[in-house]
Structure 1
Amino acid sequence: MKRKKTAFVIAAFLIVVSAGIYFYYGFLFKEARNIESEKPDFSIAAIKLIKDYNSNPEKADSLYLNKTIEITGRVTKETDSVLILENNIFCLFSQKAKDKRIHNQIKVKGKCIGYDELFQEVKLDQCSINKQNN
């Protein structure tokens, strides 16, 4: 009888530990959002977004942080996988840019990851280009 009770306790313990591991890794490695396919929560001009963050970063974070936003602005700097809009919006792409877009007006969709006070930049990642105007 004692042996059956011990076996039951060990089996229950293993089930609880297995469930814990499953849920821990399930939450840790859940599938990333596909920002490119999401509908933007906000469509905003780059200048307005910069103004919102410069005037009240906490309020801007409550509106934009971790949201999918579409920004319209002029490209002022570009590198392989980064575009800077209006000198203050840092847009990180997962792939290198194929075309040069410097000085062009574009629409970028991405996830707002916050404001970098040191560089005074609004940061977006998982960006994609929606529309380009010359």
Structure 2
Amino acid sequence: MNKKRIGYIVLALLGLGLITGFIVYKKVINPEHREIFEESTDFIIDAEDLQFHFLNDPEAGTLKYMNKVIETYGTVTEVGSNLIIIEQKIQANFLESNTQKVLVGDVIRIKGRCIGFDEFLLLVKIDQATTIKTN
């Protein structure tokens, strides 16, 4: 092979490597931010049943619910500035301070993205939560 042909091959491989690197960066390392409140709900499930799925079979619960949009409901047992605990089973983190007045004992329905299960505290973690309805 002559040097000119080898130069073209190296240049093509470098270009292919750059394109692949850019795609990996955009899709894996820095994906677009999801607007969970605008997405359709994948599952509607009460707090007790959701926690049961993770306690009963953690791997199956993770495969089924991880990174899915979930609507869940139950009685509020703790309130923080950006989070609430529902029935000591769900920890819902809000993007902003929960402006709606939620008190301990309220029945609440939230929508958010399941990000996993805390095996130490036995809480299903939900982020980007929004309040759907409070009674």
User: Into which bin does the TM-score normalised by the smaller protein fall?
Assistant: 0.7 to 0.9
Task: Give the corresponding residue for 1:111.
Answer: 113
Of residues 104-113 and 61-70 in structure 1, the stretch that sits farther from structure 2 once superposed is: 61-70
- Matched residues in 2 for 1:62 and 1:48: separation? 16
SS at match of 2:22: helix
Q: Report how far residue 20 of structure 1 moved.
A: 2.5
Change (3 A) 1:69 1:17: same
Of residues 119-128 and 15-24 in structure 1, the stretch that sits farther from structure 2 once superposed is: 15-24
Unaligned runs of 5+ in 1: none
Change (3 A) 1:71 1:19: same
Alignment of 1:58-97 (within 5 A): 58-97=59-98
- Matched residues in 2 for 1:9 and 1:59: separation? 46
Change (3 A) 1:82 1:6: same
SS at match of 2:61: helix
TM-score of the superposed pair, with normalisation by structure 1? 0.85
Unaligned runs of 5+ in 2: none
- Matched residues in 2 for 1:30 and 1:52: separation? 28
Q: 1:15 corresponds to which letter in structure 2? A: G
TM-score of the superposed pair, with normalisation by structure 2? 0.84
- Matched residues in 1 for 2:39 and 2:9: separation? 47
Q: Percent identity?
A: 32
